[in-house]
A and B are shown apart, each in its own frame.
Chain A
Amino acid sequence: MSTFLVFLLLLLPLTVGSLLVSWFSRRNPLPLPLTMALGFGAGTGVLTHLFVILNYIELPHRLAMVTVLLGCLGVLLAWLMFVNRNDRRPPISFGPRPRPDIINISLGLFILYLLSFIFWNGYSTPIHSWDTLSTMGFKAKIIYYSQFLDYIPRFGKFDYPLHLPTLMAWTAHGSGGWDDTLVKIIFPLYCLAFSVVLFYTLRMLTNGRWAVAGVALLFSSGFFVYHATIAYRDMTMMYFNCSCILLILLWQKSDYRIALSLAALFSGFTTFIKLEGFGYLGMHNMLVLAILTFDRKLTLPEKFRRQLIFSVVSIGIYAVFAVFKKTQILPNVPDWRVVATHFDLNRVSVSLGVESLQRVNVVIQRYLENMFLSGNWNLIWALFAASCLRLERWAQSATLRYLILYLTMYFGIYLAAYSLTQHYYWVADKYDVMSRSLLHIWPLIIAATCILNHQPPSAPDAD
């Protein structure tokens, strides 16, 4: 009964998010599964940001109030959709559906089997992983029992974004009590939602065959499958970060403007999952800037306008928690300057010189070991590396070049951060962070592999 109740409860952010995405794309609607897949992220993102905003006001039942506000927003969006119901054009085309041949059916069954494992595991095993017990789950419990964020400054990792602890607390509150198993339900849902986003994006960027194959490759990683079943932030981070990039690529490929607006929304929400989200936000903005810079069709004022909208929306969403942290959390931390785990850009000590060159060598070695010799990623990195040798595809596809640009930015920044700062320790001596940070861009490797191997029917892409 409780499981059913939680599913029923999660229909609220799903519906509100889907209405929000539908409202954004009201003139050229997206397919319903994609609308819902993006809507789940948008709805949960709005929900947790509403909770942060409510913390400025003295209220006794903030989690219940979030539900009420979310419901009101849903009604408002439904009304707006109803008013604009005659203002619709044909839905945007994502290419033909995959044919039900033996290969697609086999791949589909493989995906379904792993999804069933993920859902069974996600819904039958309680919280048992280290970070969840130690920090994220604990924070969620703090929020659930207190219904405010006043205790966060007293707790370790007080500066971490609070999307998932808040969402877990809200889920527990709505389902009538804290349940160590039911609060995990959101994680497999993010995995499912992202599979749908990847499927539709690949269908547009390649074809139906590669869309199915791409999702199957996504599920070929044991590390991905495991993370979809445990309550860690990285699967959710992957969902928001990669959805944002894929939407930007959709916009670049098809000039479907709404995709850029949605990407801005997702870029902002990325910052509320983990601290790294702020770095990703910067990289999303750089990618949009690069696409606009090399675009030959748009006028300069139009380019400026689009970049401005993307930056204002993404940074505006980031500002919601950033301002709250600056004004409400940090001043109440007993002495955050001496807390060793607190991430502060001013405290990053950069070391240059011969020693750092040796460190670069070690970090690259660790990356290669992780990508090619661990059991995390199957042999997908090897397939990607072999596919990169198809140089004619680089020349044909601008989308691919932008994707590779983003991956280059990602590796450049992480390589510098791990090699030149004190964070070297986490890579050289431990296995804690590298795999999880690679998970944040893992689907992009698959997308790039699919684009590289897809043979367009005509000569070079029009993009």
Chain B
Amino acid sequence: MSSVRQTSPSISFASIYLVVVLTILTIAYLVLCHIGGFAPGDILRIIAETSFVAHQNIIFYININRYPLPSYLYIGILAATFGVGLLTKVFAGRIPPQYSDRSLFSHLRYVIVVMIVLINIMQLLGINTFWQNLGGMFTGPGKYENSPLARPKRVAQAYRDALRDQPLSGIFASDMNIDEDPGMLEHRSFAYFLYPVDIRNVYNQERTVWVAYELRDSASKVPEGFKIFYQYDENNLIAIKQP
């Protein structure tokens, strides 16, 4: 029987253990806010808002006073680990042995799990914000209307419609610097949206279309031998090579 009790601590004591850990973490949090001169509510709000700044290469947490957020989390973890370790030793004999006999490393693992749950709660709030922002950005029938890709998508779609999606090779002309962002991303996305009209020399055939994109006064720059076929606006047009 005793072994069963040892591996299955009562829910009520587990709750007390959790409350103690959370209390120490809260105290550590308030102390850190006091030292840094921040209002606890403000920091909590900032953490929730910035806990899911999604990026395909790396997600950064915010820096508070030059140090990344996890540095403070580790301080809290250490404080809670030593605090709860000390309390279980002080109250040894009055609490179940599976708590009082626990090593400091064991407390450390439990405290980290509690912190992971807290970060998850923050992250869920961040995900909700991200969800709403993303939903607002990719809406409408074309999906890209409110996103930074709306312009290349619209122009490319108009060109494709004009050329009836023929697999033609084109010469790309623009005022943008396509070797550096933001021009590089805009060029790549424009090429993606424009395909099967090819401006990245995939077909390796004679280039029969001159594709102007964000080229000021493009009509005056049409190369010799080409004739304007379709004009989207002053800076965007396509010209076809004359036979």
Contacts and interface: CB of A to CB of B under 8 A. Distances in A.
B202 A130 contact: no
Interface string B74-105: 10010000000000000000000000000001
A26 B106 CA distance: 43
**A contact face: mostly helix, strand, loop, or mixed:** helix
A39 B76 CA distance: 44
Given A133-B185, A180-B143, A378-B123, A121 B134 contact: yes
B46 interface: no
Interface stretch (B50-58, B217-225, B227-235): B50-58
Given A137-B192, A138-B192, A386-B108, A373 B71 contact: yes
B178 to A, nearest CB: 11
Interface stretch (A220-228, A261-269, A404-412): A220-228
Given A151-B202, A154-B203, A379-B119, A120 B131 contact: yes
Given A375-B60, A376-B59, A379-B112, A128 B192 contact: no
B202 A117 contact: no
Contact of A128 (B77, B149, B191): B149
B138 A128 contact: yes
B58 A131 contact: no
Interface in B147-172: 147, 149, 167
A131 to B, nearest CB: 7
B127 interface: yes
A126 B143 contact: yes
Contacts of A403: none
A154 B199 CA distance: 12
B9 interface: no
Interface string A174-195: 0000001100000000000000
A370 interface: yes
Contact of B119 (A138, A151, A181, A220): A220
A432 B57 contact: yes
A222 B123 contact: yes
Contact of A155 (B69, B119, B202): B202
Contact of A435 (B51, B58, B68, B135): B58
Nearest to B134: A125
Interface string B187-205: 0110110011000111110
Interface residues of A, number: 60
A181 B123 contact: no
Interface residues of B, number: 54
A133 B189 contact: yes
B144 interface: yes
Contacts, number: 143
B138 A379 contact: no
Contacts of A222: 51-52, 54, 59, 123, 126-127
A130 B192 contact: no
Contacts of A141: 192, 195-196
Contacts of B71: 373
A386 B112 contact: yes
B61 interface: yes
Contact of A131 (B56, B59, B126): B56
A5 to B, nearest CB: 18
A431 B58 CA distance: 7
Contacts of A453: 109
A138 B199 CA distance: 12
A230 to B, nearest CB: 6
A294 interface: no
A108 B196 CA distance: 45
Nearest to B128: A117
B161 to A, nearest CB: 14
A213 B112 CA distance: 14
B113 interface: yes
Given A146-B167, A453-B109, 11 more contacts: A114-B127, A124-B135, A220-B120, A223-B59, A232-B56, A378-B119, A379-B70, A379-B73, A386-B112, A432-B57, A434-B58
30 contacts: A117-B131, A125-B134, A125-B137, A128-B149, A130-B185, A134-B185, A138-B191, A142-B195, A145-B167, A146-B167, A154-B202, A156-B200, A181-B143, A217-B116, A222-B54, A222-B123, A222-B127, A226-B52, A226-B54, A226-B55, A227-B56, A373-B71, A378-B116, A378-B120, A379-B119, A383-B109, A383-B116, A431-B57, A435-B57, A435-B58
